[in-house]
Structure 1
Amino acid sequence: MSKKIGILGGMGPMATVDLFTEIVRNTPAKTDQEHLRIILDNHPQIPPRVPAILQGTESPLPMMVESAQQLEAAGVDFIIMPCNTAHFWLDQLQKTIKVPIYSMIHNTATYIQRDYPHFSGKTILLASRATIQTNLYQNDFHSLGLHLCVPKDQDQEIIDLTIKEVKAGHIETNVYIKQLSTILNRYEMEEGILACIGGCTEIPLIFPYLTSDVVKINPTQLLALMAVEQAKGIKLTY
């Protein structure tokens, strides 16, 4: 029998839908009944993560705990969380429940270590300023012997604005797509960058519209693939 997946969502809603879609798309199934049981708590009222870290505003942790405990009470076997910045509270959150919460950040790092070790030192992180400053990705990469590049401050400003636009519902019409493409092209030409990581769950939503040739690594998709493997007890090829 397959395991039941819990999604602690709402941070933000479109990123949550994206994760759900990726799970369904990547589940080997020929009928409705062969798909996985997923219990999703889309909780967009969880306070913003970035200002909580950078400015000390209201912590999202209490509402995250509420969602996680509700998912556990609903009988899920494990929880995944489509918000990179929220992983800042993952250890504290895990202490409040017994079912495991799988980290999309660690999952991404282990994927690169396994399949693309030559990307070490040649991958740039596109994430929120809070994710960058708290070293969430950098620490996981370093623990696996990998090096990760981060954007210069003026480029980070464009990334933050790009994320904000996606959260406002602007994806293909995002006014910062051209600038972000230019930034990636510059890092490729001047610093030999081979890949970028969509280290904010809003970033992969605009991947199809970026004109840069660098390899685009999607942690949301990787998390979905891992969740399918864990739920079905199988190994996928990707």
Structure 2
Amino acid sequence: MRNKRKKTIGIIGGAGPMAGVLLMQKIITICQKKYKCINDFDFPKIILLSYPFAEMLKPLSFQQDEKKVAKQLKEAIDFLSTSGMDYITIACNTLHSFIDKPYRSKLIDLITETKSFLLKQNLSKVLVLCTKTTKLKGLYNFPKTKLLSPKDLQWIEELINKILSGAYSLKDRKSLENFILLNIKKDPSIDGILLGCTELSVLMDNFSRNNPKIKIIDPLEIVSNKLCKLVFTNKKENNYV
């Protein structure tokens, strides 16, 4: 591996900060376990840009400046592009609603990769846990997905804010588990849970390994596997940076 130039990965984090860290951690773990990386030079170059984005979780509010968020996202993508990153991804679901079309082709798109993954699964109905902005923008309006009610969305957003502040605990993880089980009890056709906010990925990391009866779909897991596959097959696809 030492003499071959591996492709490089750029991660746009900061929304929230720990989600970007978790994605980088997942990539490194896959490098170790699947691609047998041991020495420093075995691993790909990764740049994690933790960008302090403007408010994006309050749709239809004067506090949410969508043009500002879109401009900041362009700056982040441009920074990683000019830094020579071959593959760029965003460690946030909601941020994908602010991508300008010309920039979309530069990304390994978290939403697109998740949709592709879902279509390959034999699932009847997938409950999407996400922010109000993600729901409003229709990011996960896929076949066989079920979105939360306004009341449940409010509860999820309060939990997300708790995770963002770093004030969460195992009790919150248990609360989300109970929330999931209650929704499955109400609608037994639900056989998959999509973590449509990367803060929930932070809270529920490794949850599905401990609870195999609940099919948890984590977009960070999906995109980290995709990135590693691209890096180690060493084939650059035309629609990426």
State if a TM-score over 0.5 links the two structures.
yes
Q: 2:10 aligns with which of 6, 9, 25?
A: 6
Q: 1:181 aligns with which of 162, 177, 188?
A: 177
Deviations 1:126-170 (A, max 9, x none): 1111101211011xx2xxxx3201112221111111111000013
Give the 3 Å change call, closer, same or farther, for CA 61–91 of structure 1 in structure 2.
closer
2:83 maps to 74
- For residue 197 of structure 1, report the CA deviation from its aligned partner: 0.7
Contact conserved, 2:73 with 2:99, CA < 8 A, in 1? no
- For residue 82 of structure 1, report the CA deviation from its aligned partner: 0.3
- For residue 39 of structure 1, report the CA deviation from its aligned partner: 1.6
User: 2: distance between equivalents of 1:21 and 1:136?
Assistant: 25
SS at match of 1:6: strand
1:103 maps to 109
TM-score normalised by structure 1 residue count:
0.84
1:30 maps to 38
1:65 maps to 74
TM-score normalised by structure 2 residue count:
0.83
Matches within 5 A, 1:1-238: 1-27=5-31, 28=35, 29-43=37-51, 45-51=52-58, 53-56=59-62, 57-58=64-65, 59-92=68-101, 94=103, 100-114=106-120, 116=121, 118-120=122-124, 122-138=125-141, 141=142, 146-173=143-170, 176-192=172-188, 193-207=190-204, 208=206, 213-233=213-233
Contact conserved, 2:70 with 2:99, CA < 8 A, in 1? no
SS at match of 2:145: coil
- For residue 92 of structure 1, report the CA deviation from its aligned partner: 4.1
The amino acid that maps onto 1:50 is L
Q: Which runs of 5+ in 2 are unaligned?
A: 236-241
Contact conserved, 1:7 with 1:81, CA < 8 A, in 2? yes
RMSD of the alignment, in Å?
Answer: 2.2
The amino acid that maps onto 1:183 is F
Q: Which runs of 5+ in 1 are unaligned?
A: none
Contact conserved, 1:158 with 1:176, CA < 8 A, in 2? no
- For residue 180 of structure 1, report the CA deviation from its aligned partner: 2.6
Work out the percentage of aligned pairs sharing the same amino acid. 23
Contact conserved, 2:12 with 2:50, CA < 8 A, in 1? yes
- For residue 234 of structure 1, report the CA deviation from its aligned partner: 6.8
The amino acid that maps onto 2:222 is L
- For residue 49 of structure 1, report the CA deviation from its aligned partner: 1.6
Give the 3 Å change call, closer, same or farther, for CA 209–198 of structure 1 in structure 2.
same
Contact conserved, 2:6 with 2:232, CA < 8 A, in 1? yes
